[in-house]
Structures are given as structure tokens and as C-alpha cells.
Amino acid sequence: MVWDELKVHRDDRVSLRIESLFADDPERAQGFAVRAEGLLLDYSKTAIDERARDLLLALAESAGVAERAQAMFAGEKINQTEGRAVLHTALRNPGPDPVLVDGEDVLPGVHQTLARMEDFAEGLRSGRIRPPQGGRFTDVINIGIGGSDLGPAMATLALAPYHDGPRLHYVSNVDGAHIHDTLEALDPASTLVIVASKTFTTIETMTNAATARDWLMRRVGAENAGRHFAALSSATDKTAEWGIDPSRVFGFEDWVGGRYSLWGPIGLGLMIAVGPKHFREMLAGGHAMDRHFRETQGAANMPVMLALVGLWHHQVCGYPTRAVLPYEQRLARLPAYLQQLEMESNGKRVAMDGTTLDAASGPVVWGEPGTNGQHAFYQLIHQGTQVVPCEFMIGATGHEPDLAHQHRLLVANCLAQSEALMHGRSLDLARAMMAEAGFSGDELERQARHRVFPGNRPSTTLVYPKLTPFVLGQIIALYEHRVFVEGVVLGINSFDQWGVELGKDLARALEPIIAGTQGTEGKDGSTAGLVAFIRAAGG
């Protein structure tokens, strides 16, 4: 079995130093990198050699990644536990070739909705769509959570240099502090509220939306409040019940998963911020990555290689987490976005056929932008006892030509980190440093040991020309397909999320207990004790 061969190969070479691979192969940097439409993914600073790569590619082939990808793009119901097609790729597909679900082309509907979104976004941006009492909508609040928040919030920040529309605010947490602090700073007369929820039942979103509605009713009057709302949802019956005018409801089909939904109506806030043209450029970047993914074979396929590197580190080498480290302040929310994309998709313990997985599923994903992380958790990455594969990202240029010297520093820091992780610092070098600093004897030895970096820690670096809407689309689609490939190889369904349900059910049942209208009978001692403490403390 290929997994076993991979593990044997890894065990055979466990003491190999990554840097020695460069000595053996002067062309390694070129050979262990993928280029795709202006992007470069360098994975040469990992322990993957030719044999490992061949085995990993064989793994992808034997799992049927290419066939499964064609099935996804063709609208087959590959989300088997929910009986749904998986077609977020259709949201960024300009056509003209049809994409069929149950024999029907979905693209005309996608393009119609996009045109309606554009009309609405342009209306707000130009002032054609006005608040009922006059003036302009200067502020837009997107109320949503998970996939109905993370994607547009991440992308709105990422594309800040293109933001020339109304101000955007994202409210997600059921913690009243979130909506309170947001509303407090806004003028209701010039604020539009978008309720973003695929199901229109999510408790956090519906609670925050009700709070916003009360705020508007109190401040602009019940007769005007309705014209301050729009909705993004598949559940048009529920948006109607909630009283949102159908002309301001932007729907999408069940073949768009929440965490894959930025490309359609859930991206409306982003579109209002940056304008339809830039939104379409993002779609074009995503579509370009789709074409690359579908049409490129083997090691030249960027999402496939990013996935195989991930599988190598987590499933073969056993590293429990991976860090996503964008050297781009405007990608500050990308790690949070990828946490949902990767961990909600591939954090499963059962295979598609219901059997228990015999390999580990997805790793823990975490991260922060560089250089901030360097001054926080990089200590552990460099000298801690566990290995954290790092995924660096950096743009060749920034958006601030007059601050090019700062961008050079940013690039230097990014490249220095992957260099340091790979080479480390030997005990001999640390001793020489300490001798030069005037230490000797036992104290020199003790001090030197604290200054050793083991090195041999793997990383990848993704380089893009500049963080434009097109490039952002490429990066997001790259990661979507990476998650897909990992899921196929592991044999799991990356498109359901049953693991979020139990906690929601229990929270619903606990609410009246916390309110004191029901007792704690039947609750375990810890939960009952926590409720008692919170109530006694005034809760």
C-alpha cells in the first residue's frame, strides 16, 4: 500500500537534513516548486524528495483525485451525506459551457444573480439606492457567522486598497458586545443591514439581526426599517417571513457550501466595498485556478502539490498542526478563514462509507501575519519540541510604492524565517558566538545550548506578484482545491459538517436553564455547577 511505502521511506530517511537535499541536487529549488499563472509555490524546503513525491502522486492517483475533481466540476452529487452537488466553482464560471445539476444548466441563474447583486451594489455605491429618509447609505453591516462572515470579512480587509464604497462592518458573535459596539458607532439613518445566512436559522445571526431591527425601528421608525435591510440566503421562504423585500434577497442553491460561498451572494458586502469590477476580477482569479487545477497533470498542479505536502507533513511525518503565515497585514483574517475551510471540511473521523478512518484526518491550522507572529509564537516554531510545518506567503510588491523600503524589510523577514527554520544554528556555532561574547567554561556551554536552533524544520513559500483581487481569487481557490484533494485522498466527505450540530442542540437546551426557567436536573455535575456559579454571580 502506498501509505505504508511512504512511511517506510520517511522512516528510512528520518535523520536526513533538508539542506542536504540542496547539496545533492543543485536544481532542487526549481524542481520542487510549482508555477501557475504568476504564482510560485516553493516546497523545496521540505524533506520531500523524488521518491516521496512519486509516492504522494501515486497516492493521489490511486484515490482518484482527477476523476473526483471532474465529478465535482460536472455537478455530480459528491457530497453524499447530504445528497448535494458541490459547485462553488460555478459561481466563478463565466461560461459559456453549461454546468448541469439534475440535467439543468445552473450558469444562467448564477449570472442573473450576479447581475442583480451588481445592480444593487452599484445602486448603493452611486447613491441611487437611498435610505427612505434621504441622504446616502454610508455604512453597511454584514450580520452572519462562519462561512457567511469569514470569507467576505477576510476579503474586504485583503482588498482594502480597492475599497471605495460605503464602509463595511462585520458582526458575527452572539456576544452582545459585538453588535453593541458596532451599532454604537453608527448612524441608523445611513446604515444598511445585510442579514447573511444560508439557512436563515443560525441562532447567532438571527439574534443579531433582531437586535439590529429593534435598533432601526426605534431610531428610524417601523415604517422605514424594512428599507434598511437586505438578505443573502437560500431560504427565501424564511427571508419573506422575516419581512425582507424579495427584490433585496439574493439567493443561492444548496450546492454552495457555507465556507465556499464567498463567490456568490455572500460576497455582496465585499462587492459593495470594492465595486463589481474588482469583484469580477476576484472571480476571474478563482476561475483561472479552477482551470489550472482541472487541466494540469501531476507535479505541475499547484493545488495537488500543496495538498500532497500537507498530507506528507501531517499524515506521514505526524506533525500535528500547520501554521499559515501571510507576510501581508491585509491577510490578517486569512488564517481564521482557512481554519474553517480546512478544519470544518477535513476534521472528520469517519470515511465517506461510514467506516472509521485509519489515518489521521486534517491537521490543526493556525497562524497570524508576519512579522507580528515573529514577536509572539515563532520562539516555539524555532526551538520548541514539536515541529510546525510553516506555510509562508508573500507578495513581490506591496500597494504602497512610497513605502517600498518597508516592503523590502517584510520580504527579507519572510525569507529569513524559512532559511532559519531549515538551517538552524549548530552547537558549535553557538559556542563560538558565546566565546566571542566573552563567556568560557561551564557558563559558555550553558549559554550556548540555549542559542542552538535545531533547524531541519519544513516550510513552503507561496509568492504572488501583488495582492490584487485576481490574486486573492487565485489564493482562495488554491486552498479550496487543496482541501478537496486532501479530502479525496483521505476518503472523507469534505462538504458536510455534522460535528457542529451537537453543541448547537445543547446550547438551545441550556438557554432556559441559564435563564432560570428550568432546573439543572439531568445535567452532569460540572455543567450544573457552572450554571449555579454563573447564576450566583449575577448571570
* Contacts to ligand F6P by CB under 6 A: 145-148, 197-199, 202, 205, 258-259, 344, 497, 500
Contacts of residue 152, defined as CB under 8 A and 6 or more positions apart, other chains included, come to 142, 144, 170, 196, 262, 266, 267, 268, 269, 270
Residues 398, 385: Cα–Cα separation, whole Å: 35
Based on CB atoms, which residue is closest to ligand F6P, 236 or 329? 236
Is 504 among the catalytic positions? yes
Instruction: Provide, rounded to whole angstroms, the least separation between the CB of residue 68 and ligand F6P.
Output: 21
Distance between CA atoms of residues 307 and 485, nearest Å: 6
The verdict on whether 277 is a catalytic residue reads no
Ramachandran category for residue 200: left, alpha or beta (phi over 0 → left; psi -120 to 50 → alpha): left
Nearer of residues 182 and 202 to ligand F6P, judged by Cβ: 202
**Cβ atoms of residues 479 and 41 within 8 Å:** no
Q: How far is the CB of 473 from ligand F6P (least distance, A)?
A: 19
Residue closer to ligand F6P by CB (options 341, 513) is 341
- Distance in Å, CB of 479 to ligand F6P, minimum: 16
* Angle, alpha carbons 17-19-23 (nearest 5°): 115
8 A C-beta contact, residue 171 and residue 191: no
Q: Which CB, 8 or 500, lies closer to ligand F6P? A: 500
d(CA 373, CA 86): 35
Q: Which residue is catalytic, options 344, 368, 391, 480?
A: 344
The answer to whether 45 and 421 have CB atoms below 8 angstroms apart is yes
Q: Which is nearer to ligand F6P, 500 or 507 (CB)?
A: 500
List 67, 104, 277, 504, catalytic entry: 504
For residues 326 and 365, is the Cβ–Cβ distance under 8 A? no
- Report CA Rg, the chain: 25
Contacts of 233 (CB under 8 A, 6+ apart): 195, 196, 197, 198, 199, 200, 239, 249, 250, 251, 252, 265
The distance of closest approach from Cβ of residue 371 to ligand F6P in the complex, given in angstroms and rounded to an integer, is 31
* Residue of 347, 142, 355 lying closest to 231 (CA atoms): 142
Active site (annotated) includes residue 348: no
Which lies closer to ligand F6P via its Cβ, residue 24 or residue 505? 505
Within the chain, what is the greatest distance between any pair of CA atoms? 83
Q: Are 187 and 140 in contact (CB under 8 A)?
A: no
User: What order do you get walking across the sheet with 459-464 strand by strand?
Assistant: 33-36, 39-42, 459-464, 390-395, 321-327, 364-367
- Residue among 202 and 301 whose Cβ is closer to ligand F6P: 202
Q: How far is the CB of 459 from ligand F6P (least distance, A)?
A: 30
Question: Between residues 44 and 197, which has the closer beta carbon with respect to ligand F6P?
Answer: 197
For the bound state, the minimum distance from the C-beta of residue 486 to ligand F6P, rounded and expressed in Å, comes to 18
Q: How far is the CB of 147 from ligand F6P (least distance, A)?
A: 3
State the DSSP code for 382.
H
Phi, psi of 126 (to 5 degrees): -85, -15
Query: With respect to ligand F6P, which residue has the nearer C-beta, 202 or 459?
Result: 202
Catalytic residue among 375, 436, 501, 521: 375
Q: Is 235 helix (H, G, I), strand (E, B) or coil?
A: coil
Query: Least distance to ligand F6P from the beta carbon of 85, Å?
Result: 17
Chain centroid to CA 237: how far? Answer: 30
CB of 333 to ligand F6P, least distance (A): 15
Secondary structure in 3-state letters for 195-222 = EECCCCCCHHHHHHHHHHHHHHHHHHCH
By annotation, the residues acting in catalysis are 344, 375, 504
